[in-house]
Structure 1
C-alpha cells in the first residue's frame, strides 16, 4: 500500500515538472520572436547618415555622408514625390467642387428671388384691396352724409317757407325759388361731360376749371389724399398754404379727380376716384385741357376722350 502511494506521488510530480518545463520553453520562444520583430522594424538613426560603397571584391562597406549630400538626397526625394503627385487631377477635382458650389449658390439665390417676387406681388395685391375697400367706405360715408345734409336742408327750407297766395306772389320770392331749384338741378344732375363740376359749389377764389389737368411739384400726393368734392380739395390747398412753415412749399394749384372710373395723367401712377393733388408751380403748365390727344389715347387705349380732371390755380 505504501509503495502504491509513493508511485502515484512520483507520477504527479513528473507531470508538474513537465508542465513547468513546457511553459518555460513557450515563454522563451515568445521573447525570442518579439525581439526579432522589434529588431526587424527598428532602424538606428546613425544608419541614415551612412552610404554603402561597393568594393573590388564585391562587398559593401558603409561610408558616412556629409550634410550637403544628405540635403541633396532629401531634395531629390521631395522632387520625386512632387513629380509623382497627380497635380492635374487634383486641380480638376477642385474645379468640379467649385462649380458644384456655384450651382448650389445660384439655385439658392434664384429661389430667394422667386420668394421675394411672390411676397412683393402679394403685398401689392393686399395694398390695392385695402385702398379699394377704403375708397368704397369713404364713398358710402360721403353719400350718407350728403343725403343727411340734403334732408336737413329740405326740412329747414320747409320751416322757413313763407306762405304766399298763388295769385299774388312777389317777384323776389319767385326769383329765390327759381335759383334754389336751379341749384338743386345742378347738384343732382351734374355730369362731367357737360362741364359741370359735381358736388357742392366751389368758391370763386379757387378758380375751378373743368376738364383741366395742371402740372406742378406735388406738395401732397393724391394717391393717399382723398376728399369728397372739388371744393374740399381747394379748401385743403388753401389750408396748406396758410399753415405751411417758412421754407416749405405752399400750395397754389389743386387737381381733383371726380370720375368714378379714375383719371389719366402723363405719369405712371393709377389715379382713382376722389384723388386730391396739392401742387406748387410758379408758372403752372397744362398737362391736358378739354380732350386727350390722339397720341396719348393710342398709348393708353382705356383713357376717355374728355379729360375728367378738375383743377384750379389760386
Structure 2
C-alpha cells in the first residue's frame, strides 16, 4: 500500500517536492494502519460485543421446564455418587490422628527417654540369647508392672520412675490406650515370629509327577536319565556344542558313533543341560542352557545322581540341591 501511494505522488520517476516525500507518506500510512488495528482490537475485546441481549424481566435468564429438570437430575446424580461412608471414615481418622498428634506433643521427651532406658535395662537382664517371644514377654511384663504401680500409687502419685503427677497421668494413658504408638516413639520394635509349616497332603501311594522335558520325545535307545551326570572321555566338548533339545543331543551321539573313523573315540554317553538358567559343575567353566557333551567310556561311571549330598554342598556352597544335568548311555 505504501508503495502504491508513493508511486501516486511521484512524477517522472522523481518525488514531488515539499510535504509529499516518500518518507512522510510512509509514516502517514503506518500511523493509519496502527489506528485501524487499535480500533479493530477494541471492537473485539469490548464486553458489549459479545454480551447477550438483556431480557425484559430484570436481567433474569428464563429456563425451560426441561432444562430445569436436567439440572435437578444432575444435582441428584452427583449427590448419590458422593462416597458418604468414605468421607465419614476419613473424618473419623482425621480426628484420631489429631488426638494422637496432640498426645505426642504432650508427652515430654524426658519421659520417653526414662521409659526407653527402663525397658532396655529389662531386656539386657534377659541376655543376648533370648528369643523374640521372651523379649515380647519381658516388655509386656514391664508394661503390666507399671500400670499396677501407677494404679496402686500413694497420694503423692509417684512411681518407680520418679515421675511427677502430670507425667504419671500421661504415662498411664499411654500404657493403656497408646501403647503401640509409645513403642514407636521410643524406637522399640520386636518382630513377630513366623512359623512356617509345610503340609504334605499327597497320598502315600500316589506316584510322582513325571517331569516334562522340552523338545521331541527321546528314542528308547537313548536311555535318558533325569538329574544325572555321567563321567567319560570327551568326544565333543559341550561348551561349543549346543543342541536344541535332549533328543537332538542323543541323536548327535548316535550319529558320531556311526560315522567315527577308525581309531577315533565313539560316543556312547551323552550329557545335556536342559535348564534355562544353566547347569552347575565343579569345574571353572560356566555351563549354559543346551550344552551337549558327547563322551566315551568302556565302563560308564556316574559323577552325580538325583541330588548333591549335604557334605558335597558344604564343600561347594554354590552347588544346588538337585543335579540339573540329564544323561544317557547308548546301548546300555
Name the TM tier (shorter chain).
Answer: 0.3 to 0.5
The structure whose Rg is larger is 1
> TM-score normalised to the size of structure 1?
0.37
